[in-house]
Every structure is written in structure tokens, then in C-alpha cells.
Chains A and B, each alone.
Chain A
Amino acid sequence: MSNGNHRGFLLEGVRKFGASAIFLLQILGQCIPALGRPRLVVFQIYNTGARSLIIIMLAGLFVGMVLGLQGFTLLQRFGSEEALGSAAAIGLLKELGPVITALLFAGRAGTALTSEIGLMRATDQLVAMEIMAVDPLRYVVAPRFIGGIISMPLLAGIFSLVGLYGAQLVGVQLMGVDQGSFWSQMQSSLQLRDVTEGIVKSLVFGVTCSLIAVNEGYHAAPTAAGVGLATTRTVVASSVLTLLLDLILTAMFLK
């Protein structure tokens, strides 16, 4: 890639970041009026949160079970299988819960938000609202954005809880780790800041994934290919940014 291409790529990145920041400010300006319509927000929590529950719980169960298997095998080498509970809890609450939930959220709820808003744009529904003097940012975008932010930490919490159950299922029920040790080790080693870290991460990922989803949908080209491309961009950008932000947040919490 030549210098010119590098510069163009960088400028495009800065332009997109700036446009997203302005869009975020516009949405934030509409969040308080949107909260005055709780029915819309509650429906979006159901839409993005409740409808993602099955995939989140299934993924949480499988990830927890794998964690139980791998953790048990590793800890057994050092004769400390009892620490499986704390290893699984810390791994799930601080890392796997928020990150995998965000990736699944982007794939399930994020794509649904982008394609829904994009199709509304393509079929003139957003323009029709503007002509009816109804701001689509307030009526369509802000409730979905708020719904996503509220749903993400709740889904991450459910993921971690189901994951712990999965780890316990494998570690205690299958591998024979002592149940008392599993839970007591977890209780003694887990600190409030571990839980806080998970909540902060899931909130940040919630804002990021929801913003990307509504932004891509709202600015999608009003064609079938445009909506498809916007949906793809939602998954790619949300996944990459989630992993990058996870690295940054983890480093910040380690300080």
C-alpha cells in the first residue's frame, strides 16, 4: 500500500469516527425524550435482549463446560483442581461473559437492528416520519440504542451465570471436584472489582455495538445491496472494536 493509500485510509477512518461521534451526540440528545416513551424502550429491550436469550444461554452453557474441562485438566497438573470455581468465575465475569456476549449480540441483535432500520430507510418509512414532523432519531433510533445498552449487561450477566453452571456441571458432576471447594474457593477469591470490571466492559460493549448497529442502519444505502453491506459492516466493526476495547479496558483495570 502506497503512502497516498495509507493517508486516504487514515482520513476515511478519521472521517467515519467523527461522523459516528456526531451521530452519537445526536442520539444522546434524543435519549431523554425517548425515555418519556417507555413503551418503545421496553419493546426494544424485549427485541434485543429477550429475543437473544436462547443463543446467549446456550453459548454460556457450552463455554462454561469447555472452561470446566480445560480448567480442570490444567489445574490437575498442579494438584489444585479445587481452584476451578474461582478460575471459571474470574474468566467468565471479567472476560468471556462480556466479550462473547458482545460478539453474539452483534451477530444476533446488531444485525437485526441494522437491517430493520436500513429497510425502513429503503422503503421511505424514515422520510415519511420526517414529513409527518416526527424525528426518526427520537422515534426509531434512540429507543433501539437505549434498549441495546440496557440489554447488554443483563445478557452478559446471564451468560456468566449459565457459564458457571456449565463449569460446575463438568468440574463437579463429571470430573469429581469437591462441590464445597468449588463454590467456597470462588467466593473467597472473587472480589467486587472483578464484577465491576465485567459490568463496565459489558456497558462499553453495549454502547459500541448498539451505536454501530443503528448508525450503519440509519446511513445504509437505500438498496438491497446497501442494507446487506451495512449489516456485514455491523458485525465486522462491532467484533473488531469489541476485541480492541477489551484489550484497552483490561490494561486499564490492571493498572
Chain B
Amino acid sequence: MVVAVRDVHYAVDGRPIFAGVDLQARRGRITAIMGPSGTGKTTLLRLITAQIPADRGQVVVFGNDLARLKQQEIYGVRQRMGMLFQNGALLTDMSVFENVAFPVREHTDLPESLIRILVLTKLEAVGLRGAAYLMPSELSGGMARRVALARAIVMDPELLIYDEPFVGLDPISMGVIQRLIKQMNTVLGITSIVVSHDVHELSAIADESYLLEAGRVSAGGKPQELLQSELPAVRQFMTGSAEGPVRFHYPASDYTEQLLASEAR
């Protein structure tokens, strides 16, 4: 087990985000975490990467309970993982090459000639060796995400975390990213956690899926099992229906009353 989230509770300003989440990511597998917008998928990733501590429960990564680790030990755990951010989060004052080389320069004393080979190899893997000397501002959204992927794998991590990797991509870029996630997993044997609400793209590559809803895991299992689930909330999400237990509207006062009210609010 690479990641284990056990009975995690987390609240922001008294508003509960998680009320007992349990899930696991097994070694060498692709684990999908799905759920409607606002269910805390990105927050869950922040818990797994030790950016925020859980209020209650345990987050265990590589056998380490994150709550018990000191800052330096957390950095040690993070050196074994890579993360692909939704917007790429490339360092804007560095070229594509320097962005990918950044973690290598920070954590190793490798000679420049070796760093060059390493970076070009990773850029070739994501099809962007030709863009090595472009600046991030010159890249499209899909290219930026592929550069970020090259940077995430340059240190050969054991765990790769993808935050909404398909958002805002054209079908070609989406297909390329989808294939890259699968390749990283099958060729390099990297354990992957993919957070997304793109059901079909994710179901095609995931080994295990979890559906987050109302602060808990409402369903878990193989993607096919989730697609065939009879649970109303799972069915609603997997088929993209507006009708069902998952509310589309944010809680509000009566519509007519508010329209007819004299006050601005």
C-alpha cells in the first residue's frame, strides 16, 4: 500500500469537507478519485502531500503517518513523489529545460552533461524535446501540462499524483495525457493517483476508482463496477444527470421570494 487514508475528517472554518474518508492507493496501480466539483478532491491531494494536516484520522504515505513527521521528513517523503498540477505550476522565469532540470539541480550533484541527457530524455517522453528552450509563456495549456509531467517524473518518483489532468484540454491533448498516464504506470511502474471528474477518460485507464460525495467515499471498486452501480448518487454522477441526490444548486432561499424582495440580497 503506497497511500492509505483512514477515517479522515477535515473542516474549513467549521464547514466540514471530509467526515470519515477511507481510501487506498496500491503499489503499481492507477487509482482514480472522482466526484462532483466542490467535493474536496483537490483538498484530499493536499492532505496526501502533507500541505495541510487532517483534523482527525490518518494519512499514511509510504508507511509514514504524515501527522507524526517533522518538516525535513515530510520533504523526504515528497522526494519520492511527483505531482502534476491543474495549471502546470511551471516556474515562469525559467525555460522548459530549466523547469524540468530544477528538481535535479536542487537534490543531486549530477554533472551538467548528465542533467542535460536526463532532461532531454524526459522531454522526449512527453513529446516536447523540441520545446526545451521555450519559456512557459510560449506554451499552450496542454504543452504546459506535459512539461509539468516531465518535471514530475524527472526524479523517477514512486508515486505520481495528477490533479485534474484533463481539464480544459482539446481532444488530442486529452488523449495524449491519458496515454502518458497509462504509460508512466505500465512502463515505469509508477503508482498513480488521478483526481478528476472526467468519468470516461479516467475509467478507461484506472485500476481502482473511488467516488467522493458529501464528505465521504460513497463508492469504491473497479471502474466497471462503478459504471454499473445501482446506488443513486453513483448512477447520477457516472451518467451526468442533473436529477438525483447530488444537488446541482448551492443551498439558497426561495427563488421567487428573492426575486421579489426589495433588498439587494
User: Which A residues contact B (CB, under 8 angstroms)?
Assistant: 120, 123-125, 127-135, 139
Contacts and interface: CB of A to CB of B under 8 A. Distances in A.
Contacts of A134: 102-103, 106
A133 B91 contact: no
A42 to B, nearest CB: 15
Contacts of A125: 89-92
B81 interface: yes
B106 A124 contact: no
Given A123-B87, A130-B51, A135 B92 contact: no
16 contacts: A123-B89, A123-B92, A124-B85, A127-B89, A128-B83, A128-B89, A130-B78, A131-B49, A131-B51, A132-B78, A132-B102, A132-B106, A133-B76, A133-B106, A134-B103, A134-B106
B51 A132 contact: no
A130 B85 CA distance: 12
A150 B51 CA distance: 33
B75 interface: yes
Interface in B57-94: 75-76, 78-79, 81-83, 85-87, 89-92
Given A131-B78, A131-B81, A134-B103, 16 more contacts: A123-B87, A124-B85, A124-B87, A125-B90, A127-B85, A128-B91, A129-B91, A130-B51, A131-B49, A131-B82, A132-B103, A132-B151, A133-B78, A133-B79, A133-B106, A139-B106
B50 to A, nearest CB: 9
Interface in B6-59: 49, 51
B107 interface: yes
Contacts of B78: 130-133
A131 B83 CA distance: 7
Nearest to A140: B91
Contacts of A132: 78, 102-103, 106, 151
Nearest to A130: B51
A127 to B, nearest CB: 7
A234 B107 CA distance: 34
A172 to B, nearest CB: 46
A127 B151 CA distance: 14
A188 B78 CA distance: 63
A74 B87 CA distance: 62
Contact of B89 (A124, A135, A139): A124
Interface in B193-221: none
Interface in B78-121: 78-79, 81-83, 85-87, 89-92, 102-103, 106-107
A113 to B, nearest CB: 13
A131 B53 CA distance: 15
A135 B75 contact: yes
A132 B232 CA distance: 40
Contacts of A130: 51, 78
B193 to A, nearest CB: 13
B213 to A, nearest CB: 26
A38 to B, nearest CB: 15
Contact of B85 (A128, A133, A139): A128
B43 to A, nearest CB: 13
Contacts of A135: 75
Given A124-B85, A124-B89, A133 B51 contact: no
Contacts of A120: 92
A134 B105 CA distance: 11
Contacts of B102: 132, 134
A135 B78 CA distance: 12
Interface in B127-157: 151
Contacts of A127: 51, 85, 89
A239 B178 CA distance: 52
Contacts of B92: 120, 123, 125
